[in-house]
Amino acid sequence: MSSTRPESTDPAATVPADRTDERLVQDKGVVGILQAFARRVRGGDLGSLPVIVGLVVISLVFYFQEPTFLSSRTLVNITLFAAPIGIIAIGVVLVLLLGEIDLSVGSVSGLASSVMAVLVVYKDFPLWMAIVAGAATGLGVGVFYALLFTKIGVPSFVITLAGLLGFLGLQLLVLGKNGTVNLPPDSGLIEFARVSFVTGTASYVLVVLVALAYGVALVWGARRRAAAGLSAASWVGIAIRTGLLAAGLLYLTYYLNIDRGLGYLPLLFVVLVVVTDLMLRKTSWGRHVFAVGGNEEAARRSGIHVSRVYLSVFALTGTFSAVGGLLAAGQLTSVSQASGGTDTNLTAIAAAVIGGTSLFGGRGTAYAALLGIIVLQSIQTGLNVVGVDSSVRYMVTGAVLLLAVSIDSVSRRARSSSGRG
Amino acid sequence: MTATTKERPEPSVADPVLSLSGIEKRFGAVQALSEVHLDVAPGEVVALVGDNGAGKSTLVKVISGVYQPDAGSITFSGRKVQVGGPSEAQALGISTVFQDLALCDNLDVVANLFLGQERGSRGWLDEVSMEKEAWRLLRTLSAKIPSVRIPIAALSGGQRQTVAIARSLVGAPKIVMLDEPTAALGVAQTAEVLNLVERLRENGLGVILVSHNMADVQAVADRIVVLRLGRNAAEFNIADVTTADLVAAITGASDNVVAERARRGQPDSIAGAVDE
């Protein structure tokens, strides 16, 4: 058996402080890790499993319909088109973690890109200043929502539904009579979003550095835990995890490099996801976000400034929406009345949910945005490659969203019966 | 004994760490607290008892900063203070274990223990130090919690109570308030919580114990403060109080069954007694 129980005679001498309880099942070795994983899944703690299974199914289905779906070129396109809405989806994940919703991310992204485009094209502002103004627009909207929510107590559903309409109107007003603003073709934003790629040696150096940083962080964490007398990850486990990450990233880089490589835009998206994830898991701010999402009253009584948490999250959601909108504008080289329309809105929210963020608050990770948007973009690109009408695309996307929420609800029930919250 | 008897020993304590006087709290037309006073000395266990609606929980919430009193003053460590919120109460050194425990089901034990007072530097959490301290705290309570990395949702009621009490000790408070700490506990866990209250007293902490359970109160309290309908009804030293006195003070009536039995001279043999 791979499960052992520590001797109860002299626990302090040999057993780490967190492994002394004789009821605790201990998992040793690779088989043990797999058993622990199986227990978690049965207990309803599905994590990213459904999304990854879904992604494999989608890939296989489209691959057998049209082998070019898994070509390097298609995959590079998926990463490029996924990134702007993915960045918006990070903000949606944050607001969902609080158990709230932002229905207006699309309108806010459209408004921010309109502000930016009008400043650059009509007012001759420098690009960086226009970008800052665009991002600040999103920030301002987020702060406005937070004040309405915390001071007046309007439900976020209603606030953001009003924002969806109101800011769409403001976007039309900002754009003026022409309706469409074309960015200058030599704009740095267009260059960043369309034609800048990490490729060749630089990409491999980047991958090696990321894997090294990951490995060093794991080793450092394990040593600190061991020094404090707590159980620590084994060296073999760390080596396997780092090795798997390095191998996976290297192969992905090699495959993307056959075509254009990893774009700056998707790279920025991934960096934002990783940073958000670290903020959520490793800082007290992140801890407070989960606490407010899990039990707002308990969080308040613990002395957490609940309204500050709401303010920071709504502000971040607004900013992420704006940044996503700016990058989408760069990618499409223009801003129009349709920028940030229904498609953007629903795709960003659906991505966060499909990626595994619970609608009930307090449960999810920043990686949900990454996984969710890749699933949705794969479906969209796949249906395009196969040559299916957009009517089918909407229906498929709707079905996937429904499936994801159903999985969330079912696993929630499994969790409450197995005591995993 | 009449209902309005005020048996307030003067002075109630020599050098209180926490002293409340003239506390008033109204909710609309309901006067929840009127002219309530309460003193707690270091190393003293004060039991706060009273019937449902007597104002116990309201008083606890006033002390812990959840409610602001409409009138009255709170003196802590010889200084007049305004407890503007739960975090201010914590900063002063008043920690509270609420009746509903106020734990986040989705977070693990370590996260709940240090919620609102996380350890780390510049906002980054120091999980290792928190986990180590979590085990130390749980050991001092002889807590039976298999792992501190499981979500609260996976724990039993008694284990949750233990976590909540352990949490009140994070940050070295001077006053610990326990609101109905034994209400949901089994026999062994109740004894464990009462032992813990003893240990808090030995460490020189002032303890306010809100309870319905007269046996628990008489087991650990030094002084018993009775509230009735939002007023101080009586105050007893544990040495010279009987269950009959307590019940009379709580209900405000002397013609209850406990007093009746006490008059018949058999105050302790309740179980198995047959009416004559």
pLDDT of residue A172: 92
A18/B135 CB distance under 8 A: yes
Identify from B95, B104, B131 which residue to disrupt to test chain A contact, counting A C-beta atoms within 10 A and taking the largest count: B104
Nearest Cα neighbor of B217 from B233, B232, B199, B197 is B197
A421/B102 CB distance under 8 A: no
B102/A298 CB distance under 8 A: yes
Q: How many CB atoms lie within 10 A of CB B116?
A: 23
Domain ranges of chain A: 1-38, 57-186+263-418, 200-259
CATH number of A57-186+263-418: 1.10.3470
pLDDT interval class at A46 (50, 70, 90): low
Nearest Cα neighbor of A141 from A166, A108, A95 is A108
Tell me which residue in B102, B118, B129 faces A297 most closely, judged by beta carbons: B102
B132/A416 CB distance under 8 A: no
Q: Which residue of B has its CA nearest to A285?
A: B123
pLDDT of residue A8: 41
A294/B106 CB distance under 8 A: yes
Q: Give me chain A's average pLDDT, please.
A: 87
pLDDT of residue A195: 87
Identify from B61, B100, B107 which residue to disrupt to test chain A contact, counting A C-beta atoms within 10 A and taking the largest count: B107
CA distance B92 to chain A (A): 12
Nearest Cα neighbor of B150 from A20, A421, A417, A363 is A421
Cβ pair A289, A301 in contact under 8 A = no
pLDDT of residue B263: 67
Contacts 24+ apart (CB under 8 A), A409-412: A410/A44, A411/A44, A411/A45, A411/A46, A412/A44, A412/A358, A412/A360
Residues B164-176 have pLDDT tens digits of 888 888 877 889 9
pLDDT interval class at B40 (50, 70, 90): very high
Q: What is the pTM of this model?
A: 0.83
Residue A209 or B242, more confident: A209
Residue A249 or A42, more confident: A249
> Rounded to 5 degrees, what are φ and ψ at B84?
-80, -15
pLDDT of residue A148: 95
Asked if the model's pLDDT at residue A232 lies above 90, the reply is no
Q: Give me chain B's average pLDDT, please.
A: 82
Asked if the model's pLDDT at residue A298 lies above 80, the reply is yes
Classify burial at A125, counting beta carbons within 10 Å of its beta carbon; exposed 0-12, middle 13-18, buried 19 or more. middle
pLDDT of residue B179: 87
Q: Give mean pLDDT, residues A187-195.
A: 89
pLDDT of residue A257: 92
Asked if the model's pLDDT at residue A258 lies above 50, the reply is yes
Residues A119-154 have pLDDT tens digits of 999 999 999 999 999 999 999 999 999 999 999 999
pLDDT interval class at A246 (50, 70, 90): very high
Cβ pair A112, A322 in contact under 8 A = yes
Residues A356-371 have pLDDT tens digits of 888 888 888 999 999 9
Identify from B105, B126, B148, B159 which residue to disrupt to test chain A contact, counting A C-beta atoms within 10 A and taking the largest count: B105
Residue A363 at interface with chain B, using a CB cutoff of 8 Å? yes
Query: Max CA-CA distance within chain B?
Result: 72
pLDDT of residue A136: 97
Fold of B1-93+174-276: Rossmann fold (3.40.50)
pLDDT of residue B11: 46
Residues A402-421 have pLDDT tens digits of 887 888 788 777 766 665 54
A294/B104 CB distance under 8 A: yes
Asked if the model's pLDDT at residue B4 lies above 60, the reply is no
B124/A282 CB distance under 8 A: yes
Classify burial at B1, counting beta carbons within 10 Å of its beta carbon; exposed 0-12, middle 13-18, buried 19 or more. middle
Residue A387 at interface with chain B, using a CB cutoff of 8 Å? no
Q: Give mean pLDDT, residues B138-159.
A: 80
A232 contacts on B by Cβ (under 8 Å): none
Where in chain B is CATH 3.40.50.300?
A: 1-93+174-276
A295/B128 CB distance under 8 A: no
Tell me which residue in A18, A221, A290 faces B147 most closely, judged by beta carbons: A18
Residue A3 at interface with chain B, using a CB cutoff of 8 Å? no
A416 contacts on B by Cβ (under 8 Å): 153
